[in-house]
A and B are shown apart, each in its own frame.
Chain A
């Protein structure tokens, strides 16, 4: 079984809709992250959490929110989706520096 899982794997939604992406990890790490990938821009950090009570904004947090429901679960929400949020979204977890990534969610906002 995968150490980091993401649901859904693919999602098409309309502008203005609320959507939640979910992430679970079985590695037992305290740190979890949400990134988005756009062509040529690499992975950009949206939010990160060092433990259940700790939530921090990353480089591009506008338009997103997160919830850390448990050590193993970290969800990302788009309260009102817009087309420029069309991207590949990755969840990751880490103990120290090296991060372990989920398989990604491809989100399309029409």
Chain B
């Protein structure tokens, strides 16, 4: 059973608009969350993260929101640019009872930003 789920396999957004990518998790022990971005023929690259002690983290056009009660996080990209077109993976980690802070990944969401 997947502990981290990205229920939207794809998302299409117009350039300049907001992109919202969603992620749900089931393991209440997760206390650190990351978003990775993946272009074709490349490995995933780290984008932004958030600790469970926060509910928001912002880095330029990228903001991650965490709702612990709902076990839900989202990545907002504003404004969206064609270069943001990629697959985005949500990942989660538990610092307690988890050897080495291993990451559990969601299935990914393919974002397409149309010019």
Q: B-contacting residues of A (Cβ < 8 Å)?
A: 4, 31, 35, 40-45, 48, 50, 56, 90, 92, 96-104
Contact = CB atoms under 8 A, between A and B. Distances in A.
A8 B72 CA distance: 38
- Which of A44, A45, A101 has the most C-beta atoms of chain B within 10 angstroms of its own C-beta? A101
Interface stretch (B13-21, B62-70, B78-86, B95-103): B95-103
A41 B105 CA distance: 9
Contacts of B44: 43, 90, 101
Contacts, number: 50
A104 B101 contact: no
A4 B6 CA distance: 27
B45 interface: yes
Nearest to A10: B41
A40 B107 contact: yes
**For chain B, what secondary structure do more than half of its interface residues adopt (helix, strand, loop), or is it mixed?**
loop
Given A40-B107, A97-B34, 12 more contacts: A40-B108, A41-B107, A42-B89, A45-B102, A48-B102, A90-B43, A90-B44, A96-B101, A98-B34, A98-B49, A101-B36, A101-B45
